[in-house]
Copies of this chain bind each other. A is one copy, B any other.
Amino acid sequence: MSTNANGQRRQMHLNLFIQGIGHHEAAWRHPNTDPMNMLDIGYYQRLAKRAEEAKFDSIFIADGLAINSNINFGPFNNFFEPFTLLAAIAAVTESIGLIGTASTTYGEPYDVARKFASLDHVSKGRAGWNIVTTGNEMSAHNFGKEAHLEHSQRYVRANEFLEVTRKLWDSWDDDALVVDRRKGMFTDPSKIREIHHKGNIFDVRGPSDIPRSPQGYPVLVQAGSSEDGREFAAKYAEAIYTAQNRLDDAREFYTDVKRRMLKYGRTPDQLNILPGMAPIVGLTESEAKEKEQELNEYIVPEYGLHQLSKSLNVDLFTYPLDGPLPEVPSVESINGGKSRYQVYVDLARRENLTIRQLIHRIAFGRGHGTYAGTPEQIADYFEEWFREGGCDGFNMLFPHLPHDMERFIELVIPELRRRGLFRTEYAGRTLRENMGLTRPVNQFATTPIKIG
């Protein structure tokens, strides 16, 4: 049994990716779900509380900065904005991590840094930031831009953005707030400093107006798997949400990114790689397969065609649904999600899928892993990926919420626990503690203090 540096048994990390009423694209049409939950904060709070009872590490909220052009045929993102949603969840939970998406392309570092610092204070150390450069070109038009910034330029901006936010989070020493009533000294001026960042893109004086937060920084999460994305992740990310369907691919990715960390002076245990997984749990294998089949019967083909056309940058409406995927533009032409493009094309080519088959395959989780089976089979799958160097845990994309999460918690988690693969109690109070991540040392502090 593998152990970590402290001699503790290595266990997997589970993240609940909350996307409306489930990740299956037709979840909203199924009697299992209630689509109006998407406008009910109580629904999101109950999901998070249930995931906390089951000892998930965290919940995760994706975000776009534009309406999904496909909304007539189904929802895509949540109807809540991440910071307001996560803060409202923080108020009714105690231990579960709260990971929200914010864009480095359309945000300002000062604004993003203080919102995460505040969320980390609100949650007493449970904030995480899913750093995105924004894949949706429509966003540009909502922010006064003629066109979306080119892919590699977005990563140049993201790198400097991170540099600025980390300086801002370190602009207060942990012990800068002295509150000496007698002397009339509220803060120690030597422990709060302007950062005077002047880079190619950003010019930010600082300091932050918020004291250093319980975790120092939010846990930094990233999802892109392109060349730029891998390098960025190796430098900054403490968790990666990735999309792999096969263990071989997952292993290649895992090994590659963890190796890249070394050149940034980072140790591989400071990054948790969490492939996406959309499980369909059945008491028997055939029940699971039937359920998988049933879910797909609700698919509106227009929705899938539209999403896929966007992702592959080709108009699939002009091709027969039951014919093969046509030639598609090269990955260089893609200025949105390059990783998603690659997953879709590989899947179709490898398995010779028709357009309809591809739509059905990605309906569960947009190219993330899916697996229909019994609790034991799913636990086997998880165990193999985890022990064979494919991952440090999973990003759970349940097809229907809360239904499929309930099934997983009742049937699969006990099996994972029997095998010693998943916790029965939280290890600590902060998300960093539960994910086995160190609290960042303050880059400026002359007398660094370790809290928590």
Interface residues of A, Cβ cutoff 8 Å to B: 28-29, 35-36, 39, 41, 45, 64-68, 71-75, 77, 79-81, 83-92, 106-108, 110-111, 114-115, 117-119, 121-122, 124, 138, 141-144, 177, 179, 181, 184-189, 192, 202-211, 300, 302-303
Contacts and interface: CB of A to CB of B under 8 A. Distances in A.
Nearest to A79: B210
How many copies the complex holds: the figure is 2
Contacts of A303: 184
6 contacts: A73-B184, A84-B87, A88-B90, A110-B142, A110-B143, A144-B204
Contact of A84 (B115, B124, B188): B115
B91 A181 contact: no
Main secondary structure of the interface of A (DSSP, over half): mixed
Contact of A87 (B72, B87, B143): B87
A92 to B, nearest CB: 6
A360 B409 CA distance: 61
A210 B142 contact: no
Q: Lowest 4 A-B CB distances belong to which pairs?
A: A91-B91, A87-B87, A141-B205, A81-B118
Q: Which of A73, A144, A181, A203 has the most CB of B within 10 A?
A: A144
Contacts of A90: 41, 88, 91
Contacts of A141: 203-205
A181 B28 contact: yes
A72 B186 contact: yes
A444 to B, nearest CB: 15
Given A81-B114, A87-B85, A202-B144, A41 B211 contact: no
Given A67-B209, A144-B202, A83 B87 contact: yes
